[in-house]
Amino acid sequence: MQPTDNPGREQILQRIGAALRTPSPHGSDAVSGEFFEPITNSLERFQQECAGNLMECTLTSDSASSALQLAKVLDSLPEGEVFVQDDPMLRQILPTANPARPIQWSSEGAPREASQATITLADALIAQTGSILVSASCGGRGASIIAPCHIVYATLAQLVPDLQTALANAYRQGILDRNSFACVISGSSRTADIEKILIQGAHGPRRLVVILQREN
Amino acid sequence: MSATRAQRFLHDAAIKSADLVHREIIRHGIDSYDASVLRGRARFKDWQSARRKCQQIKQDAINHLDKYLLQFEEKVIARGGHVFWAEDAEQACTYITHVAGQLGVRNVVKSKSMVTEEIHLSPALEKLGIKVWETDLGEFIVQLRNEPPYHIVTPAMHLNRHQISDLFSEKLGERISGDDPGQLVALARRKLRQAFFSAEMGISGANFIVADAGGIAITTNEGNGRLCTSVPRIHVVVTGIEKVVPRLEDLALFWPMLATSGTGQPITTYSTLIGGPRRRGEVDGPEEFHVVLVDNGRSKLLEDAEQREVLHCIRCGACLNICPVYRHIGGHAYGTTYPGPIGSVLTPHLNGLEQFKHLSYASSLCGACTSVCPVSIDLHHHLLHNRRNAVSQGKTNFAERMSFRAWRFVVLHPRIYRLAGWLGRTTLRLLYRLGLAGSILDPMRPWNRGRAPMPLPTESFRSRWRRHLAAN
């Protein structure tokens, strides 16, 4: 499309500028300090929060046990294609995990609607809220939302204590300059729009599985 | 003559407050919310300090609004996105319908956005023959009922599972046995999946405009916002200009505050950041990214330094849930896009004081709204400011002005005041004895017609006071 013609832009900016010449009578003293209790044990907190978010989190010791865990999760899923982020680490463990299952790699295109699961890495894990931070580089936007099950393969070194740290790192690394999209995911898709009853799997994954490996 | 907005409000509020089924549904919903919010707040070390911090961040954002909007715009354009500044609803709708027309859009999927309700975007698209799907479950339900959202966070809060099951059966042609909420959700998922994968355009709002990172932040639990912004080839964001936060790091506090105040969750399931269209080498995502920054009266509100802080609102809905008026009359009776205390403060600014000044009186001035606002907006005092402005700008009607003149005359003349009090008590007592309480002859009709008659005092306050002094 052509660059946007913006007849209202200058008018709005002029009105804002004129309005702000009158200073606001409301002022408040600078507020500082901690707004959340400090996190002493990030791993323990992450596992607790994952349980609270109805996520499945399994701690593994090395890539062999991660592959075993991944195989278990894949075995529990219905037959069908799995979408996988095209990354050397995942290329290495996936054949061991489930050699028979058809795989669509992210380098071949976006996940298909019929995918039974998606397997991706994460940019970070956040202990405070039991969240995973993904960006477009983790297999694209659809990789964490289209299939009924999203499996995340991460290492303990990626765990940060809180949102503040995660967002400060993300900003420093220019997350939105390098990716068009990023998302802090804190559980499976859900709704409570009917009588406040919690139902999982509203539009996105019903299961969010984190395989958390101690070693890099 | 058609009823005024104020008359319609009084009429609809009277019906809803007497509807016991409606009140029971709302009570159940809000009781559940209250319990969650208490648990959510307990996760904060100091909730009050966190509120003050949010207030401070929004003050900075609003007091440097032009600077931050330009910072955001520059980044989005540099990444290949488009930013359109709409002075009013018409400009916003014209731009979006033009984009839709130019890019051959026939189907649109929308995630929940109050600004799109405010500018009446869906009717504008439908006029061009474009099919619009609301994809948030609550919004989908109220769209099927051809109703506006009932609440800014939970749009179908006024309906129970049986009503929703009947609706789905009638409109979607499938009956869910036992009205199981899980199956109702599954049915909506199946229907909306087809829409997500056939739509050319996804429309979302933005919970925040992040200036330093040059992105928008959207929060959803269902994931419909994720699908709307991932699958279609065009993504249009419609947002008010006031949604700015200066820094990405500010979301470390705003995301938990919004989630806790909105639903009681520690954080919403999907807290998404989007900075532009799909980049080279990315697997998927829209090729077109348009942000429509809507003014529509906001810069006028910014001129009012006294009430400027109303623009700090993050649309969490906490003031609606705590408000005793909202709890009784619900969201639709207000007849506005934004119901509840924030709506009563904001609507006269966006849609005119003349027509909406009555909303300033839809409050007991208890201050509960102010006490729960996560950005500490002094809501009940702003309702008083709007009342004062309506009077000082001569927006009151003749009967009201005469009534207050008469009242002033009476209270300035003690003998007449005593006589008026005696006459009032005697007349009401007589009417009650004749069984005419709540009838058209009863001056207390607005109160008495839906309730047991208000008990009458046997003597005036002045005589009780005199007796009390004599006794002591």
Domain enclosing residue B10, as ranges: 1-42+314-396
A101 CA: distance to closest CA in chain B (Å)? 22
pLDDT recorded at residue B352: 93
Read off the pLDDT band of A2 (50, 70, 90): low
Contact in structure between A168 and B247 (CB atoms under 8 Å): no
In a domain, B61, yes or no: yes
Search chain A and give the residue with CA nearest B34.
Answer: A196
CA distance A126 to A136: 18
Q: Which chain A residues are Cβ-neighbours of B62 within 8 angstroms?
A: 24
How big is chain B by its Cα radius of gyration, in Å? 25
Q: Is the pLDDT of residue B1 over 50?
A: no
Exposure class string for B53-73: b at 16+ Cβ within 10 A, else e: bbbbbbbbbbbbbbbbbebbb
Q: B143 is written with which tokens? A: 């769209």
Domains, chain A, in order of start with CATH, read 41-213 (3.40.50.10420)
DSSP code of residue B296: T
Domain identity same for B76 and B177: yes
ipTM (interface predicted TM) = 0.96
pLDDT band at residue A31 under the 50/70/90 scheme: confident
B296, B323, B358 — which closes off a domain? B296
Q: How far apart are CA A103 and CA A106, in angstroms?
A: 10
Instruction: Return the number of other C-beta atoms located less than 10 Å from residue B405's C-beta.
Output: 10
User: How many other CB atoms are found less than 10 A from the CB of residue A107?
Assistant: 11
Instruction: Find the mean pLDDT for residues B413-429.
Output: 92
What pLDDT, in 10s, does the model give residues B175-206? 888 789 999 999 999 999 999 999 999 999 99
Express each pLDDT in B357-413 by its tens digit: 999 999 999 999 999 999 999 999 999 999 999 999 988 888 888 999 999 999 999
Cα–Cα separations (whole angstroms), residue A52 to A44, A150, A196, B269, B455: 13, 17, 17, 12, 51
Domain boundary among the residues B365, B381, B396 is at B396
Work out the angle between the directed axes of helices A63-75 and A88-97 (0-180°, nearest 10).
60
Neighboring chain A residues of B306 at a CB cutoff of 8 Å: 25
Half-sphere exposure of B151 (CA within 13 A, CB side): 26
In B244-270, which positions are buried (b, 16+ CB within 10 angstroms) versus exposed (e)?
bbbbbbbbbbbbbbbbbbbbbbbbbbb
Q: Is residue B28 less than 8 Å (CB to CB) from chain A?
A: yes
B230 vs A29, higher pLDDT: B230
How far apart, in whole angstroms, are the C-alpha atoms of residue B337 and residue B116? Answer: 10
B406 within a domain of the structure (yes/no): yes
The answer for A 58-77 residues in CB contact with B (under 8 A) is: none
Buried b (16+ CB within 10 A) or exposed e, B430-469: ebbeeebbbeeebebeeebeeeebeeeeeeeeeeeeeeee
Contact B189 A203 (CB under 8 A): yes
Is residue B144 located within the same domain as residue B247? Answer: yes
Helix (H, G, I), strand (E, B) or coil at A71: helix
**Cβ atoms B152, B323 nearer than 8 A:** no
Separation CA B162–CA B21 (nearest Å):
13
> CA-to-CA distance for B246 and B209, rounded, in angstroms?
8
Contact call for residues B395 and B353 (beta carbons, < 8 A): yes
**B136 and chain A: CB distance < 8 Å anywhere?**
yes
Within this chain, do residues B341 and B390 fall inside the same structural domain, yes or no?
Answer: yes
Under DSSP, the state recorded for B2 is P
Structural domain includes residue B248: yes
- Residue A94 is predicted with a pLDDT of 87
Query: Does one domain contain both B199 and B237?
Result: yes
Distance CA B390, CA A73 (A): 64
Closest Cβ–Cβ partner in B181, B196, B269 for A194:
B181
Question: Are residue B330 and residue B442 in the same domain, yes or no?
Answer: no
* Residue of A22, A31, A145 with shortest CB distance to B223: A145
Q: Which of B239, B270, B296 is the last residue of a domain?
A: B296
